[in-house]
Structure 1
Amino acid sequence: MPWSNQSGGGGWKGGGGPWGPRPGAPGQQPDLEEILRRSQDKLRQAMPGGRIGGPFAVLLAVLLVALVGFFGFTVRVNPDELGIVLRFGEYIRQLPPGLNFRWPYPIEQVELPKVTRINRIEIGMRGSADSRDATSTIRDVPEESLMLTGDENIVDVDFVVFWRIANAPDFLFNIQNPEGTVKAVAESSMREIVGQNDIEPILTEARAKTEAAVQALMQQILDSYGAGVQVTQVQLQKVDPPSQVIDAFRDVQAARADQERLQNEAEAYANRIIPEARGEAERILQAAQGYRDQVIALAKGEADRFLKVYEQYQKAPDVTRKRIFIETMEKVLGDTEKVIIDGKSGPGVIPYLPLPEFSKQRPQEPAVEVQPQ
């Protein structure tokens, strides 16, 4: 398996061979002989005559051995780190946070990857790592952000990937450049998801769906590599058409929005006017049905009345004719003003009888109260 460290790079770790970096390399503990030699030189300079002897030399030697033993056989692992112990370059065990025992270099060496830190990778843009910094300028990287959609349109996608170390040994030894690998996988996954969809959903309502699909595809690819990386979140920062045609795309979006608005207004008008028209039609039908039933009922009633009168006429024609005449005259003269003049009245009788005058009600005169004497 290739040798690597958590910050990337290939070949032997630090360029020092299979046992780690050379003694005295930056970031590593110096050689034991080098420490003793430097300590002796400093003591010779501090002691009068440049010599060390007696109990003081023994005590100093014991102190130096204790210090060298303490720092040589123990290693401190910070709370956000995990110690990965390599014995002669082979992975042996893991060390929890705190002070832990290990054999000194070159027998064992310890890698300290930060397993709880959330790492952030920007793709399609470069800016400040602190998202709260409003004054930072974001530089676009078109070679990473320009992508081709499924309907053969170009879209400019800027996004951020958050990831952490899930398996420290796999992260250190299975991939050569972890950060570069995560970035390449993120870009390729986004291009694949964008290439499977049209530009319209990506620009509008499918942002959350796109983020979830890219995260799932990235995790699947990294797991197949055995990278020991967990993708925690994918955030789309900007999804726009290319700057050269963004105005035309906005005009198209505005036209589609107007189209949807007009369609919604037309549907609302239809939903309002159609029930009203159906109700009016039903009302007319009900009125016609009632008028028909009324006419038929009246006609049947008139026919039945005529038949009844005809039966009575057959039994007594004279009486029936006289009755019909009287009922007809009653209907005709019932609502007219009538005056009776009797030309055969004898002397002393007024031949004129104004019936309408008698039908009028005279106003009642107030009663006069009589006081008793």
Structure 2
Amino acid sequence: MAWNEPGGNNQDPWGGKRGNDGPPDLDEALKKFQEKINGLFGGSSGGGAGGSGAPGLSGASIVFLLVALVVVYAAFGVYQVNEQERAVVLRLGVYSETKQPGLRWNPPLIDSVTVVNVTKVRLHSSKGQMLTEDLNIVDVNLSVQYKIADASEFVLKVRNPERSLAEATDSALRHVVGSTEMHEVLTEGRARIAIEVQQRLQEYLDDYQTGIQINTINVEGTSPPREVQAAFDDVNKAREDEERLKNEAEAYANGIIPEARGKAQRVIEEANAYKAQVVAQAEGEAQRFEKLLTEYKKAPKVTRERLYLDAVQQVMANSSKIMVDVEGGNNMMYLPLDKIVSQSKVSRSAEEISPTVIREISNRVADQLRRESINTRRREIR
């Protein structure tokens, strides 16, 4: 029942009695409130201004209490922002500023502070089956290394930035793999796929204003599904055999071509040498003939005899027998020149026999034949 309803004994909430029509006594109400405060701090609640109880709360005590409350309030607003951190400040729920590293203070219950590490490199992994451009299914395992570039966007723009990163990664990866053939995804195309995924993912995150900066994307593994692993291994083996045979063919070509070029160069050099030899020999023969002509003009008889002996030497050097025509004789005799040369103990070859030696041998043979012819005639006369 309300205190002012009929039957309520006209008692006000401050404990005093009010008249029928008068307002409540404010002085009495304040007095009662002070007595309660004094009771909380150990003072007596029954004494009045002239009572015998403990004195009430003084003005200095109230000031001290207020100062203590202010100090405690201020202490709760002090915080430290490290070098690798940034503090996002919301004042009454509205973005105010981003605090840099250092000792900071914000009023509690008015400002809300969120500290974010902006230098820590974080890791997100993604794995799944995807369809390639040539309608094959591959398993792709990918890892994303990222950090927070804008703390305010990371805290305020997106409800869950890391979940947005995971969904954007999956979208970018499926887009790139879907435009690439299976062979390239499983072999040498991983580096290109990582670069394209990083570019596309960063565009997505910038559009979403997540405040995330992608550092590196690594395609850790690509493989076909288990159901077709054996067939894929056969294909890889065939490709390896193809590559091996191609390398062997290139090695063979690299060995044959330089060898053929070397042989061709050698033939060219030999031809040039032969050409130079023939030209030099011809020039030498021409010079020799000119000199011989000069000598012939000076002494024709001696020169003719010398030329005759040189010709005989060249002819006899290639023959093992010699024909001798004796003056006054009727028969032609064939003598083995090699035996005659061996009997005369000549140790040089046919090319090394001088005209003087040939002339001496010829004279000996002629003398022997003359003596035999004279002896034969004498026998006939007797």
TM-score range, shorter-chain basis? 0.5 to 0.7
Q: How many residues get paired?
A: 279
Residue range with higher mean Cα deviation, 179-188 or 156-165: 156-165
1:226 lines up with 2:209 in the alignment: yes
Q: How big is the shift at 1:208?
A: 2.5
Against the structure 1 CA distance between its residues 62 and 88, is the aligned structure 2 distance closer, same or farther, given a 3 Å change threshold? closer
1:86 lines up with 2:55 in the alignment: no
Deviations along 1:298-342, whole A, 9 cap, x unmatched? 9xx9xxx9xx9xxx9xxx9xxxx9999887766555665779998
Kept in 1, the 8 Å contact 2:43–2:56? The answer is no
Structure 2 counterpart SS, 1:113: strand
Q: How big is the shift at 1:243?
A: 1.9
Counterpart of 2:188 in structure 1 is: 205
CA distance in structure 2 between the aligned counterparts of 1:146 and 1:48, rounded to whole angstroms:
77
Against the structure 1 CA distance between its residues 338 and 238, is the aligned structure 2 distance closer, same or farther, given a 3 Å change threshold? closer
Q: What code does the residue aligned with 1:118 have?
A: V
RMSD: 5.0
Q: How big is the shift at 1:92?
A: 1.2
Q: What code does the residue aligned with 2:225 have?
A: P
| Equivalent residue in structure 1 for 2:72, among 43, 68, 79 | 68
| TM-score of the pair, normalised by structure 2 | 0.57
| Equivalent residue in structure 2 for 1:108, among 104, 108, 111 | 111
Against the structure 1 CA distance between its residues 359 and 85, is the aligned structure 2 distance closer, same or farther, given a 3 Å change threshold? same
CA distance in structure 1 between the aligned counterparts of 2:226 and 2:326, rounded to whole angstroms:
114
- Which blocks of at least 5 consecutive residues in structure 2 are unaligned? 1-38, 45-53, 330-338, 348-382
| TM-score of the pair, normalised by structure 1 | 0.58
1:123 lines up with 2:126 in the alignment: yes
Structure 1 counterpart SS, 2:259: helix
* Structure showing the higher helix proportion among its residues: 2
1:360 lines up with 2:363 in the alignment: no
CA distance in structure 2 between the aligned counterparts of 1:82 and 1:155, rounded to whole angstroms:
41
- Which blocks of at least 5 consecutive residues in structure 1 are unaligned? 1-42, 125-144, 346-353, 363-373
Q: How big is the shift at 1:178?
A: 0.8
CA distance in structure 2 between the aligned counterparts of 1:263 and 1:336, rounded to whole angstroms:
64
Structure 1 counterpart SS, 2:242: helix
Deviations along 1:205-228, whole A, 9 cap, x unmatched? 232222222111111111112221
Kept in 2, the 8 Å contact 1:44–1:52? The answer is no
Q: How big is the shift at 1:60?
A: 7.9
Against the structure 1 CA distance between its residues 338 and 228, is the aligned structure 2 distance closer, same or farther, given a 3 Å change threshold? closer
Higher relative contact order (CA 8 A, sep 6+): 1
Against the structure 1 CA distance between its residues 340 and 220, is the aligned structure 2 distance closer, same or farther, given a 3 Å change threshold? closer
Structure 2 counterpart SS, 1:104: coil
Against the structure 1 CA distance between its residues 52 and 275, is the aligned structure 2 distance closer, same or farther, given a 3 Å change threshold? farther
Larger Rg: 2
Residues 1-373 of structure 1 mapped to structure 2, 5 A cutoff: 61=65, 64-105=68-109, 107-124=110-127, 145-280=128-263, 290=274, 333=316, 336=320, 356=341, 359-360=344-345
Structure 2 counterpart SS, 1:103: coil
Against the structure 1 CA distance between its residues 88 and 54, is the aligned structure 2 distance closer, same or farther, given a 3 Å change threshold? closer
Identical positions, percent: 33
